[in-house]
Amino acid sequence: DAKTTQPTSMDCAEGRAANLPCNHSTISGNEYVYWYRQIHSQGPQYIIHGLKNNETNEMASLIITEDRKSSTLILPHATLRDTAVYYCIVRVAGKLSFGAGTTVTVRA
Amino acid sequence: GAVVSQHPSWVICKSGTSVKIECRSLDFQATTMFWYRQFPKQSLMLMATSNEGSKATYEQGVEKDKFLINHASLTLSTLTVTSAHPEDSSFYICSARATGPHTEAFFGQGTRLTVV
């Protein structure tokens, strides 16, 4: 069972930052938050993960609140190719359980 | 990121036959591999977890005798759908993770199975 809740969908404008929220209020102290995305008919693509510190890589930034009950994935400059379903996942017992995710549509 | 390759990308088989799907980690050793199934307009559902050299652990409701998983090496896991039926038609996706408690898992491109 997924331990996260995400908005069902969101739109964002090409070239603007996309901020994707995720709630994980029941997260335990040693559980990591992972973000993946799935473009239609492909396997999920790893984006980023974190425990309690903010993280940044070439794809995105992950901001985790101090109480770790929520996080935000930031795509700094969204492009049309970022249109996908984005999954926020708390890994439990080494397994990734996918919820419904957020369908992000980037519009020109 | 690391590369996980699935083969075939798509397969059509007749009802009652068996189909084998391969999952390979190309540039790292995968101590743990996972198999998922995804029906249209739904999310991924974890079917089973396999550790190299051990029997797979199946999620509740997944028939282990129907979905045979073998993880004989650190770079290869196979999923065999035995006696396939049309309701087994789905998108099957594997993922692989290297050793370590906080390493990320990488996913294959998926296999579209159609049983006719």
Condensed to tens digits (0 to 9), the pLDDT of residues B50-68 reads 988 888 999 999 999 999 9
Using CB atoms, pick whichever of B43, B49, B109 lies closest to residue A98. B43
Residue A35 in contact with partner chain B when CB distance is under 8 A: no
pLDDT class for B78, splitting at 50, 70, 90?
very high
Q: Which residue type does A6 have?
A: Q
Q: Which residue, A47, A36, A63, is CA-closest to B1?
A: A47
The pLDDT of residue A102 is 98
How far is the C-alpha of A63 from the C-alpha of A84, rounded, in Å?
20
A34 contacts B107? CB cut-off 8 A = no
Average pLDDT over residues B5-12: 97
Q: Chain B, 83-102: which have a CB under 8 Å from a chain A CB?
A: 91, 93, 95, 97, 101-102
Residue A41 in contact with partner chain B when CB distance is under 8 A: yes
CA atoms within 13 A on the CB side of A38: 26
Residue B45 in contact with partner chain A when CB distance is under 8 A: yes
Best mutation target among A6, A36, A47, A87 (most B Cβ atoms within 10 Å) is A36
Measured between beta carbons, the chain B residues lying within 8 angstroms of A102 are: none
Residue B99 predicted with pLDDT over 80: no
Residue A2 predicted with pLDDT over 90: no
Can the peptide bond before residue A7 be classed as cis, meaning omega within 30 degrees of 0?
no
How far is the C-alpha of B73 from the C-alpha of A59, rounded, in Å?
32
Question: CB of A63 within 8 A of CB of A72?
Answer: yes
Question: CB of A35 within 8 A of CB of A6?
Answer: no
The pLDDT of residue A44 is 96
Residue B100 predicted with pLDDT over 90: no
Average pLDDT over residues A4-20: 97
How far is the C-alpha of A36 from the C-alpha of A6, rounded, in Å?
13
A87 contacts B102? CB cut-off 8 A = no
The pLDDT of residue B1 is 66
pLDDT class for B102, splitting at 50, 70, 90?
low
